[in-house]
Amino acid sequence: MSHGRWDALLSQITHANGWTMRHQSPHTAVEKRVETAVGLKQASLCWVSRDDERPRIWARYDSEGRNVLESVWLHPLEQADEEQAKAEIHAMLQRIDAAIDGSYARALWLEHNYLAPDTTPKTQHS
């Protein structure tokens, strides 16, 4: 499958799974905000796809001083057909969600539906 098709599938599937496009140059980056016990946190997923090299994909979500997504990779196979590519992308997104949900602040929020205190200044209406 062409690099351009991988790019298109990654964009479509990440968008359909709640990720928002951040930028497309020099690499494509999407982000997803998640509720945690310490407030909203952001996960990033980036990829570069050039005709002269294999597509590279990496992810980042910091928790307790480390990137819990550092081991989440997808190595696109050029000989993969579209259905295989979709399955690989969905599996990667599931691994990302599982790693984020297993992080300390996110797990607390999921277990107790605990929200950080709202520190937004309140406006008074008369």
Q: Is the dihedral of CA 40, 89, 5, 49 positive or negative?
A: positive
Exposure letters 30-40 (e unless 16+ CB within 10 A, then b): bbbebbbbeee
**Distance (Å, whole) CA 117 – CA 58:** 32
Task: Walk along the chain (126 residues) and give the pLDDT tens digit of each residue.
Answer: 777 888 889 999 999 999 999 987 778 899 999 999 899 999 999 988 776 667 788 999 999 999 999 988 777 766 788 999 899 999 999 999 999 999 999 999 998 876 555 555 555 555
Residue 100's CB: how many other CB atoms inside 10 A?
23
**Distance (Å, whole) CA 24 – CA 34:** 22
